[in-house]
């Protein structure tokens, strides 16, 4: 049995074609610099050409580290119900500077954050049931995995 082979033929992109593809890639959603570098490598663009394309995209405002971090933190908090710890870790993995990570986390409204923590707490309590002797422990573990601070979890638990 043969392995699946891609039908796409690997062709070398001209710098203009690579720039157009990356402009579309960046315009589709917010991107961090690491994602743009990875996409350049994926397209087979390397060396001085990659650096020039990266510089053009950055200069034209197609991506911005701070803008990405703020959008990412807000989205992951609102949609995925992640806590600050997990958001911080994910931004760190994407090579966002600590100062920018701090700014992005400050944009999360404290009242909304605590309300989300309480909602998640009640949801997890309901899932594990009152008759389960380990319900408190499981609830705390689930919220800590979701990225909420241990002190806050145990304070409201």
The DSSP call for residue 64 is -
pLDDT score recorded for residue 3: 61
pLDDT score recorded for residue 57: 95
Cβ(99)–Cβ(81) below 8 Å: no
**What is the rounded CA–CA span in Å between residue 28 and residue 26?**
5
CB neighbours of 5 closer than 8 A, spacing ≥ 6? none
Cβ(36)–Cβ(63) below 8 Å: yes
- The pLDDT profile of the chain, 157 residues, written as one tens digit per residue, is 456 555 554 577 888 999 999 999 999 999 999 999 999 999 999 899 999 999 999 999 999 999 999 999 999 999 999 999 999 999 999 999 999 999 999 999 999 999 999 999 999 988 888 778 888 899 999 999 999 999 999 999 8
Q: DSSP states of 83-145 as a string?
A: -HHHHHHHHHHTT--HHHHHHHHHTS-HHHHHHHHHHHHHHHHHHH-TT-TTHHHHHHHHHHH
Angle, vertex CA 33, rays to CA 27 and CA 38, nearest 5: 90
């Amino acid at each position: 049995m043969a392995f699946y082979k891609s039908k796409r033929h690997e062709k070398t992109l001209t710098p203009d074609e690579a720039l157009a593809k990356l402009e579309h890639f960046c315009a589709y959603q917010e991107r961090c610099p690491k994602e743009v570098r990875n996409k350049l490598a994926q397209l087979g663009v390397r060396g001085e050409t990659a650096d020039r394309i990266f510089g053009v995209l950055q200069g034209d405002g197609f991506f911005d580290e701070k803008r990405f971090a703020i959008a990412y933190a807000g989205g992951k908090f609102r949609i995925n119900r992640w806590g600050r710890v997990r958001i911080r870790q994910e931004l760190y993995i994407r090579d966002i500077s600590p100062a920018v990570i701090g700014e992005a986390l400050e944009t999360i409204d404290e009242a909304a954050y605590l309300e989300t923590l309480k909602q998640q707490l009640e949801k997890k309590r309901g899932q594990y049931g009152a008759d389960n002797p380990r319900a408190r422990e499981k609830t705390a573990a689930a919220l800590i995995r979701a990225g909420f601070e241990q002190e806050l979890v145990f304070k409201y638990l």
